[in-house]
A and B are shown apart, each in its own frame.
Chain A
């Protein structure tokens, strides 16, 4: 077991545990904070998968902006206190666990297959590209060349979302 592998498994287990805790906390703020931990762990996994830029973006955008928004809303609506149990009763829990287990089982069967040889890149190609162009350029160049149009559309989408959020949350239209 190399250092890299040990790290990987450590952060993997951390993410799973944190996710489980996030799902089962009574307090909404606790759930949010444990989700932040999960996101950090996933960012670490990203780094180990040669996606460093994406990892940074994960921390900045996801953990930094989106989760902050969540916490803002929780605070605004004043549901941060430990309230009466909002987890469903025993029967509901049983159904939820059963369905989740079933889904887990099926998805693991799906992901067992290896990607076909025809589209696989030679091993180490990702790292080589990164060494050649730099970490950010490897992602940025295709983004502004091949995927320019989805990029522009996404910007419009964000504009629409911003306008929508403002309108929906107004006290008086």
Chain B
């Protein structure tokens, strides 16, 4: 386990080397490939070794490795320290494993791009920061990783920055993240104020005594932390950056906006689960916002035509499920992390698969010099004849996300919903959350089937000339898809519930991390009958959703995007994302811009600081100088008068 420092150090070295190559020799593609992919594969191998050592050691508390003293200021002492425990082990394997697969995929996808070296440099840097985030032993170190992944997200979303829209999307992501980060910082300040430390172990040890259960302080702290999570993990109200982030390259969307960065918020809640257990109101808020977001995003995904946008809203929706899980607490904490893991598998598979599709569409349009949108589903159709492997693997992911047993998504999603329903026994609002989740599951099955239907089935709408150029992706891209497909299919084995005879392996693995918080949550048990009923309901919902999509939708009635009619009515509202972006623009962005322009610039900057401050002090100096110069008359008689007056003054002072 002592080698844990090597895991983040390898991608950092990759960033430095690839960055140098990007600046010095951007055409050295083979070197970049070897370095960029090699460090990730090595990091994964080391991570496996670390986890095996951890499993052999069975520690009850996290193992902390301190490397150097970072901030010694007054009463505050923060070291650069990494900790290895069961939760960070799970995240470690997900980040390095899925990350390595996506790096391999990128070799094929970005192979012809000019910024190849820059891309891999940024990608390596991102993995470094993400690993710092999950391995950090204190809030500040986690925050360094938190901010760093935000930075890399900005760099990668705006990778093709010569297009204004891409640069804007990068800025939008970064700025909305910063709003959340302000909440994170406020929470850190409060934690330090009340416990005097920012390291995880002492904070969690003091928490039950330092904070009154359900009191205003702990509620404020956890709500601020959750504000940071809504920014980073794209929940209501700070989710609008994620669909715009699809402007970046597709592997970036897979890695950052599906598997790893956006799950940082879920990780944070899981890491601080003891604090959330002490604040039942905050836990309810987390679960409620998660459930509502799950439903809300699912409705928007129903009417999107860009394949990546469908997947983006699907990600937002699934993240809502994860928050529902960690918000419910107790055993559902492990269920939330389980869903995080399975979601990483099938969502990465879906994104990479859509990457294959887009890659093929680009090639086709490039060959025929057409300018149609390669990502619009109305331009696709019937692609399973041309991309059979991609189609089959994406169908596996779709079944997983819809929650059809025995694929992985079924086990994780059902775990969350069952826990939510059980919690309803002590707090009825959780039945409402369960209801949202169930409805969202129905919609998920529907829109995913819709996506598959329009993309791979039915008649092909790409165009007669383009069809000759559509072909399957090379093996460097399809290989990772296969591995992810196996994981998506079999991932359920990680946490088979006791109900069906499994060992709930992941839940027991995470027990040392979650048991302190779980003890504070009201125990919720369902009878076996209720559990089986819920399972049957869940499967029925999934199947119903898929069948409804298959029956009600007719890909034959679609026309290519250029000839499509604009949406009308309620469909238009869904297509325009419930106009949330427009509302934010009018209510928040415009007033702030007005404030900056009219008041802060014209009044404060030009008037007060420039006018009174800078010019004003010059005027005052000149005036004082003029006053002084009036004494220089050159007239000796005048000087003598002043002289005598001075003497009188001195004498007066002495005689008093």
Contacts and interface: CB of A to CB of B under 8 A. Distances in A.
**A–B direct touch, CB within 8 Å, in complex?**
yes
Interface of A: 88, 92, 95-96, 99, 102-103, 106-107, 109-110
B633 to A, nearest CB: 13
A107 B647 CA distance: 11
A107 B644 CA distance: 13
B644 A110 contact: no
13 contacts: A92-B637, A95-B641, A96-B641, A99-B641, A99-B644, A99-B645, A99-B648, A102-B648, A103-B644, A103-B651, A106-B651, A107-B651, A110-B655
Contacts of B652: 106
Given A99-B645, A99-B648, 11 more contacts: A88-B637, A95-B641, A96-B641, A99-B644, A102-B648, A103-B644, A103-B651, A106-B648, A106-B655, A107-B651, A109-B655
A101 to B, nearest CB: 10
Contacts of A102: 648
A88 B640 CA distance: 14
A139 to B, nearest CB: 31
A109 B653 CA distance: 12
Interface in B631-656: 637, 641, 644-645, 647-648, 651-652, 655
Contacts of B648: 99, 102-103, 106
A102 B648 CA distance: 7
A96 B638 CA distance: 11
A131 B647 CA distance: 42
A166 to B, nearest CB: 25
Contact of B647 (A92, A103, A110): A103
Interface string B610-646: 0000000000000000000000000001000100110
B651 A110 contact: yes
A167 to B, nearest CB: 23
B314 to A, nearest CB: 94
A107 B645 CA distance: 14
B655 to A, nearest CB: 5
Interface of B: 637, 641, 644-645, 647-648, 651-652, 655
Contacts of B637: 88, 92
Nearest to A96: B641
A142 B411 CA distance: 122
B332 to A, nearest CB: 94
Nearest to A112: B655
Contacts of B655: 106, 109-110
Nearest to B651: A106
B463 to A, nearest CB: 103
A151 to B, nearest CB: 30
A106 B647 CA distance: 10
A95 B651 CA distance: 18
B249 to A, nearest CB: 88
Contacts of B647: 103
A102 B646 CA distance: 12
Contacts of A103: 644, 647-648, 651
Nearest to A107: B651
Nearest to A95: B641
A16 B641 CA distance: 23
A104 to B, nearest CB: 10
A4 B647 CA distance: 36
A16 B106 CA distance: 112
Contacts of B641: 95-96, 99
State the 5 A-B residue pairs at the shortest beta-carbon distance, nearest first: A106-B651, A99-B644, A102-B648, A109-B655, A106-B655
Contacts of A106: 648, 651-652, 655
Nearest to B647: A103
Nearest to A100: B644
A29 to B, nearest CB: 22
Contacts of A109: 655
B73 to A, nearest CB: 60
B645 to A, nearest CB: 6
A94 to B, nearest CB: 12
Contacts of B645: 99
A110 B654 CA distance: 9
Nearest to B637: A88
Contacts of A95: 641
Contacts of A110: 651, 655
Contacts of A96: 641
Nearest to A103: B648
Contacts of B651: 103, 106-107, 110
A103 B652 CA distance: 9
A106 B656 CA distance: 10
A110 B648 CA distance: 12
A114 B98 CA distance: 105
B166 to A, nearest CB: 80
Nearest to B650: A106
A86 to B, nearest CB: 11
B644 to A, nearest CB: 5
A9 to B, nearest CB: 27
B380 to A, nearest CB: 101
B652 to A, nearest CB: 6
A109 B656 CA distance: 10
A91 to B, nearest CB: 11
Nearest to A102: B648
A110 B653 CA distance: 12
A173 to B, nearest CB: 25
A110 B647 CA distance: 14
A106 B653 CA distance: 10
A95 B640 CA distance: 12
Contacts of A88: 637
Nearest to A92: B637
A99 to B, nearest CB: 5
A99 B655 CA distance: 16
Nearest to B654: A110
A26 to B, nearest CB: 17
A107 B648 CA distance: 9
A114 to B, nearest CB: 16
